[in-house]
Each structure stands twice: as structure tokens, then as C-alpha cells.
């Protein structure tokens, strides 16, 4: 009987220690939770070329998947198992491939999402600086995932994640700001989850009191749908305000929603992640621009390599104001080699 009570006491002590450690961990996560203000000024890129009415510009949007979601990878949130690539060399390979795609595009403005600055999942590589050095372009940056420790999935947790939106351009930018979007998560999940945002760059137009407003975004992914709706509604309110000023506006990024009129790839397997559908209630004077047939994203339930029939989505694109002519739009077919997304390039002219 004494042996039984000794074992029971040991078990209770272990359980109590686990509970206390878990409680302390959540207290620490709460204390260090990233809590950005609704609006924060961002240091803009120090480009020098001033835009003029009549100029034709090339803009690329690309979710680079922190150079950690190439063809070899699956991801636990999509039904896979992994939290990061097996080695830093794989991240380096993906990042080099992404940089080559950016160089080949030769865009005036690059809108990148899921760019890491010092995360466990990308082996602490500062991707923002690496891309800037390779392109020879200045950039600005806004965190949308800033977690000192992400305790899921256990035991191979994501750990530290520092990631966000980066806009690269040689164009003159008068000001930039980070606009916080509604967060659909409550405590404790909120403490280590993403804080989605808009990264807005304002570019002066020579001889005009209007501005070219470039908005980089990455909307909610793994919510019940209400987060996407609330964030989209707030985006539309921002567009209304810019239209009232007569500004030229381009929004580009990963909407995590299918565009009205785009092909909707039916789920191959029950339970796979499915995007929402963007509201067609765009403010007057704005239009969606996307490729209705070419997928821009693949599911990460399995690795792409060796998968003959992956699940695809069309969730990356643009919103453009009526005072801008869209000359062309193209999905760059990368084969999803270095990211779970394919980039899009839009060519516009300011009227």
C-alpha cells in the first residue's frame, strides 16, 4: 500500500508541475503578446523615382511562404504533419529560387507576403534583407505574425515566428502605415496567433494633388469565415475613403478567398482547407483583377513532389480603382517549386 501511495504522489507531483508550467507559459505568452496599435507609421522605402500620370507600372504580388513551403513540404494546419523544412539548406534553395523569379519579373513594385525576419520555421534567416540586397531595392515591412513562442503543434512546435508583409520599390514613397485588421481569435489562441494588417504605401504623383496608394495584404486563413468577412469589410471601407479623395489605388496580395467568377476547384478530399468567397460588394469605381482559370495556391496536406493530383485554389489577385487602366495580368507559372503560391504580375497605366 505504501508503494501505491508513493507512485500516486509522484504522478500527482508530475501532473501538478505540468499544469504549473503550462500556466506560466500562457502567462508569459500573454505578457509578451504582440499588440499593435490600430494605425502605426512605417518607415517608407527611400526610393527616388516620382510617378507621373500616364506612367505604366508593373506590380507583382507573391506569397513566398517564408521560403519554407516548397515542393517538398506539407503543413500541419492544412492536414499535413510538418512545421518546417528539414534543413536550412532547403530554405536557402527556395529563397534563391524566389529571388530569381522576382528578378525575372523586373517589377516596379513587389508586394510580398509571409516574409520571415527571424523565425524557427525558416532557420532564423532574415529574408527581407536578403531579398532587398538581391534586388537592389529598398523596402518597408509590417509584422502580421509576431510570436515569441508558438506552442503548436506539440511536441514539434512552431516556436518563435517573426513574419509579415514587405513592399519593395524604387518609387518615391511619401508615407507608409500599418493598419490593424480585426482579429477573430480570443485568448489564449490570440496571444500566439497572427495579427493581420494592411501595409499601405502612399506615392506622390508629379503635378497632381492625388496619390498612388499601394495596399499589400494577407487576409485570414484558418478562421471560421467571420474573420475574413470582417477584414474584407474593413478593406472596403479603406477603399471608399481613398476613392473619396480621388486617389489612384491598387490592392494586391493573398485574400485567402476565391474571387467572384473564378473557377472554384472542388475539394479532392473531404476535410481539406477551403477558401471563402470574396464579397462582390466592392465600393463603386473598383474592380477585381485575377486569372479566373489558373491556380495561385496549392494545398499543403501533402508534399507536391510525387502528388499527381493536388488541391488547388485561386486566392491571389488585385483590386484596382477606375482611374487606372489595367494593360495585362499574368500568373507566373512556377510549378509551385519554391512556395505554395504562384506570383501574379499586373501592368497598369495611371489615367
Residue pair 201/140 in contact (Cβ under 8 Å)? The answer is yes
* Percentage of residues in the chain having pLDDT higher than 90: 81
Whole-model pTM: value is: 0.93
pLDDT for the residue numbered 192: 87
* C-alpha span between 51 and 46 (Å, rounded): 14
- pLDDT confidence of residue 331: 98
pLDDT band at 316 (very low <50, low <70, confident <90, very high): very high
Grid look-up 507583382 returns: 60
- Taking only the tens place, the pLDDT of each residue in 65-102 is 999 999 999 999 999 999 999 999 999 999 999 999 99
Instruction: State how far the Cα of 75 lies from the Cα of 69, in Å rounded to an integer.
Output: 8
Q: Which residues pair with 277 in a beta bridge?
A: 258
Average pLDDT, the chain: 93
Specify the CATH superfamily of domain 37-350: Endonuclease/exonuclease/phosphatase (3.60.10.10)
- Is the peptide bond between 198 and the residue preceding it cis, with omega within 30 degrees of 0? no
Can you tell me the distance from the alpha carbon of 275 to that of 278, in angstroms, rounded to the nearest whole number?
9
Decide if pLDDT at 130 tops 60.
yes
Tell whether the model's pLDDT for residue 188 goes beyond 90.
Answer: no
Per-residue pLDDT, averaged over 6-28, amounts to 64
Cβ-count burial of 228 within 10 angstroms (0-12 exposed, 13-18 middle, 19+ buried)? buried
For residue 119, the model assigns a pLDDT of 98
User: Is pLDDT larger for residue 271 or for residue 201?
Assistant: 201
Hey, what's the cell of 260?
467572384
Angle at 180 between CA 179 and CA 186, to 5 degrees: 175
Please name which of 237, 333, 238 lies closest in space to residue 291, comparing C-alpha atoms.
333
**Pairing status of strand 248-254 against strand 211-218:** parallel
Residue 156 DSSP symbol: S
Listed in sequence order, the residues at least 6 apart from 190 whose beta carbon sits closer than 8 Å to its beta carbon are 33, 183
188 burial type by CB count under 10 A (0-12 exposed, 13-18 middle, 19+ buried): middle
Cα(314)–Cα(319) distance, integer angstroms: 14
Strands (DSSP E) contained in the chain are: 39-42, 51-52, 56-63, 109-116, 139-150, 159-169, 175-180, 197-206, 211-218, 248-254, 257-258, 276-277, 286-289, 297-298, 312-313, 316-321, 324-331, 344-350
Q: What is the pLDDT of residues 23-36, one digit of tens each?
A: 655 565 666 689 99
Q: Are 209 and 199 in contact (CB under 8 A)?
A: no
Name the least confident of 65-69, 159-163, 199-203, 266-270.
266-270
**Residue appearing with cell numbers 515569441:** 148
Backbone angles phi, psi at 65, to 5 degrees: 55, 40
- Domain borders along the chain are 1-31, 37-350
- Mean pLDDT throughout 156-162? 95
CA 42 and chain centroid, separation: 17
d(CA 111, CA 188): 31
What was the pLDDT predicted at 267?
73
Amino acid at each position: 500500500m505504501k508503494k501505491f501511495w508513493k507512485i500516486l504522489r509522484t504522478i500527482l507531483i508530475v501532473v501538478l508541475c505540468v499544469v504549473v508550467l503550462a500556466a506560466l507559459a500562457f502567462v508569459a505568452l500573454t505578457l509578451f503578446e504582440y499588440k499593435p496599435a490600430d494605425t502605426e507609421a512605417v518607415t517608407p522605402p527611400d526610393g527616388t523615382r516620382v510617378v507621373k500620370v500616364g506612367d505604366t507600372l508593373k506590380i507583382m504580388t507573391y506569397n513566398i511562404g517564408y521560403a519554407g513551403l516548397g515542393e517538398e513540404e506539407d503543413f500541419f494546419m492544412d492536414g499535413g504533419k510538418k512545421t518546417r523544412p528539414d534543413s536550412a539548406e532547403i530554405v536557402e534553395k527556395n529563397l534563391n529560387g524566389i529571388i530569381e523569379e522576382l528578378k525575372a519579373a523586373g517589377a516596379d513594385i513587389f508586394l510580398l507576403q509571409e516574409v520571415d525576419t527571424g523565425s524557427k520555421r525558416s532557420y532564423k534567416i532574415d529574408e527581407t534583407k536578403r531579398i532587398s540586397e538581391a534586388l537592389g531595392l529598398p523596402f518597408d515591412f509590417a509584422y502580421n505574425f509576431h510570436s515569441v513562442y508558438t506552442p503548436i503543434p506539440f511536441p514539434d512546435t512552431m516556436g518563435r515566428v517573426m513574419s509579415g508583409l514587405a513592399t519593395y520599390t524604387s518609387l518615391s514613397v511619401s508615407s507608409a502605415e500599418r493598419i490593424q485588421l480585426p482579429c477573430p481569435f480570443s485568448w489564449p489562441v490570440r496571444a500566439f496567433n497572427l495579427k493581420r494588417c494592411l501595409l499601405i504605401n502612399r506615392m506622390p504623383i508629379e503635378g497632381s494633388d492625388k496619390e498612388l496608394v499601394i495596399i499589400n495584404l494577407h487576409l485570414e486563413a484558418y478562421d471560421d469565415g467571420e474573420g475574413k468577412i470582417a477584414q474584407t469589410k474593413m478593406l472596403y471601407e479603406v477603399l471608399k475613403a481613398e476613392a473619396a479623395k480621388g486617389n489612384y489605388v491598387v490592392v494586391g496580395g493573398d485574400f485567402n478567398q476565391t474571387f467572384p467568377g473564378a473557377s472554384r476547384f472542388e475539394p479532392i478530399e473531404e476535410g481539406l482547407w477551403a477558401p471563402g468567397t470574396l464579397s462582390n460588394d466592392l465600393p463603386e469605381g473598383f474592380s477585381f483583377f485575377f486569372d479566373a482559370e489558373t491556380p495561385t495556391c496549392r494545398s499543403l496536406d501533402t508534399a507536391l513532389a510525387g502528388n499527381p493530383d493536388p488541391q488547388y485554389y485561386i486566392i491571389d489577385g488585385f483590386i484596382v480603382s477606375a482611374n487606372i487602366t489595367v494593360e495585362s495580368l499574368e500568373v507566373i507559372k512556377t510549378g509551385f517549386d519554391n512556395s505554395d503560391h504562384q506570383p501574379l504580375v499586373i501592368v497598369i497605366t495611371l489615367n
